[in-house]
Amino acid sequence: MSDKKIILAVDDMPENLMQLGSLLESYFDVRLARSADMAFNVLNKTKVDLILLDIVMPEMLGFDFLSLLRAGNSVNKKTPVIFVTSHADIEIIGRAIKAGAKDYIVKPIVAETLYKKINSVIGLPEHIPGIIEGKLQKLMTAAYSANKTQADTLISELLFLTKDILHIHNPLIEIEKIINDFEYKEVINKINVIIQLLDLEKT
């Protein structure tokens, strides 16, 4: 049985759910729902630790979803909610907080922001070396294949994960600067430096 905390992400756009799943699956047990009905079906069966809730959905606004959840008898009645919205205006954000949300995230979702918001509400797992090393390997693959989108996402994640470990000198910052030109040999060299630094931290 997994000891990972469970996060339910609710969004009617499949690409948003895929992004959230990709960013969170290494750290959490992630459940995805494309509609309010699907989300309530999950919540009626499973105790979750956090809900990432889209505000604008076709069949029900996130505000109404949260009101129904709080008014019901579900085991998740008091589960913390972070709203996810494309609307950054003060009125929407104010309404989100007034509705009882713990926080909000403005789309497009940035990995570091997502992790910070989640960390402030339910915490993140301890830094697991295997997770970091796995993402470094993926970054190498992205560099070899010149997949800049994937590389940018991975660098954002890794910068957040290693900030307390490599706070004095973090080669990821240098990688971020050179990734646009995809000098992959230089990227690989710097990734190897990070691995060596992380190994030193373990000793």
Domain stop point among 121, 138, 160: 121
Q: Which of 78, 44, 77, 198 is nearest to 129 (CA)?
A: 198
Structurally, the chain folds into a number of domains equal to: 2
Residue of 79, 104, 80, 106 lying closest to 94 (CA atoms): 104
Q: Across 10-24, 146-160, 161-175, 177-191, which has the greatest mean pLDDT?
A: 10-24
| Residue where one domain finishes, among candidates 98, 121, 144 | 121
- Distance (Å, rounded) from C-alpha 44 to C-alpha 186? 50
Quick one: average pLDDT of 70-85?
A: 92
The last residue of one of the domains, among 95, 121, 147, is: 121
Say what the pTM is: 0.71
Residue 29 binned pLDDT confidence (cut-offs 50, 70, 90): very high
**Mean pLDDT along residues 69-76:** 90
Comparing 173 with 135, which gets the higher pLDDT?
135
Per the structure, the complete domain to which residue 168 belongs is given by: 129-202
**Cβ(119)–Cβ(7) below 8 Å:** no
pLDDT surpassing 90 at residue 131: no
Give me the pLDDT at residue 151, please.
Answer: 83
Question: What is the C-alpha to C-alpha distance for residues 177 and 149, in angstroms, rounded to an integer?
Answer: 14
Predicted confidence at residue 6, as pLDDT, reads: 96
pLDDT at residue 94 is higher than 60: yes
Q: Are 139 and 117 in contact (CB under 8 A)?
A: no
Residue 1 resides in a domain: no
Q: Are residues 70 and 17 in the same domain?
A: yes
For residue 174, count CB atoms less than 10 angstroms from its CB and return exposed for 0-12, middle for 13-18, buried for 19 or more.
Answer: middle
The answer to whether residues 113 and 145 belong to one domain is: no
- In angstroms, the Cα distances linking 179 to 49, 102, 174, 183 are 36, 35, 9, 7
Highest-confidence segment of 39-48, 92-101, 114-123, 128-137: 39-48
